[in-house]
Amino acid sequence: MSEGSHTKLYTAIFAGLVVLTALTVGISRVHLGGVGNVAVGLLIAFTKATLVALFFMHLKYDGKYDRYFYVAAVFPLVLFAILLSAPMGDLVWLSPP
């Protein structure tokens, strides 16, 4: 990629992160139910983390050690999802109707 296309790409990624941050703030003011706000917030956070990992940490363009970096990046996310899903049943039962 040329220098100009890198600048455009990073500017677009930055703009996307700003929009997702604004969306996070906006969605926090809307009541989506007991677990709804948490789920939407986590989905937006996961999207932002993926953009940062792929482009700013250069995981997207890594060639030789691709699968090792993806395993190192995906394993903590899977573990986090497992640990987060454990108390979700309690949150659903404890949330007011």
Give tens-digit pLDDT for 32-42: 876 788 888 88
Domain count, the chain: 1
Task: Count CA atoms closer than 13 A to 91's CA, side-chain side.
Answer: 12
Query: 18 or 83: which carries more pLDDT confidence?
Result: 18
- The distance of Cα 34 from the centroid of its chain, to the nearest Å, equals 21
Domain residue limits at 22: 3-94
Give the span between the Cα atoms of 42 and 68, in whole angstroms: 25
Give tens-digit pLDDT for 36-77: 888 888 889 989 988 888 888 777 766 666 677 677 777 888
What per-residue string of b and e applies to 59-90 under the rule 16 or more CB within 10 Å gives b? beeeeeeeeeeeeeeeeeeeeeeeeeeeeeee
Structure tokens at 46: 């996961």
| pTM of the full structure | 0.63
